[in-house]
Amino acid sequence: MNTAARYISLFLMAQAYAGLIVLLSWVSNSIPRPPAKRAVALAFINAFSQLGNVAGSYVWPKNWGPTYRKSYIICIACFGLAIVMAFFLRQHLIQLNKRLDRGEIIEGVGERTEAVREAAELEGVPVEELRTRRQAFRFLY
């Protein structure tokens, strides 16, 4: 086996964790209010992102060695699935932005007088400023 290729692939695999950081910031900006909802979403993402570590210990059995082709195929398939899912999430956010542009109310973004008043009080800003912020909100993609 080519040692240089294996060494380079080690660095490429380590870069996968950079994607998790991008995902966390993406979700954090896509769910701005209420803060409790954003906190729960980030907690779920952190929890589910670690499930791969549990399953990963069973993907590298000794009898598949020394090449571990099946193990690498499983890892590549998981990365491919993550890319496809991110693409579908992006498309969904684009559709939500189009609905916001048309003036449709989307749960968690729309205008509910009592919720806006409570959020403004919680954040210590005038209700009108919060309404302006909510109307200008767009999902990042």
The total number of residues shown for the chain amounts to 141
Confidence of residue 141 (pLDDT cuts 50, 70, 90): confident
Amino acid at 59: V
C-beta separation of 59 from 71 below 8 A: yes
Provide the pLDDT for residue 94.
93
Alpha-carbon span 19 to 52, nearest angstrom: 14
pLDDT tens digits along 28-78: 888 776 778 888 988 998 888 888 888 888 998 999 988 889 998 998 898
Choose between 133 and 22: higher pLDDT. Answer: 22
Delimit the domains of the chain by residue range.
Answer: 3-104, 105-141
Sign of the Cα torsion 84, 87, 93, 99 reads negative
- The answer on pLDDT for 120 being more than 90 is no
**74-115 per-position pLDDT tens digit:** 988 988 998 898 899 889 989 988 988 887 776 655 556 677
Helix (H, G, I), strand (E, B) or coil at 15: coil
Tell me the two tokens of residue 67: 């090449």
Q: Fill in the DSSP letter of residue 91.
A: H
As a whole number, mean pLDDT of residues 109-137 equals: 73
Q: What is the mean pLDDT of the chain?
A: 82
Peptide bond preceding 126: is omega within 30 degrees of 0, i.e. cis? no
Report if pTM > 0.75: no
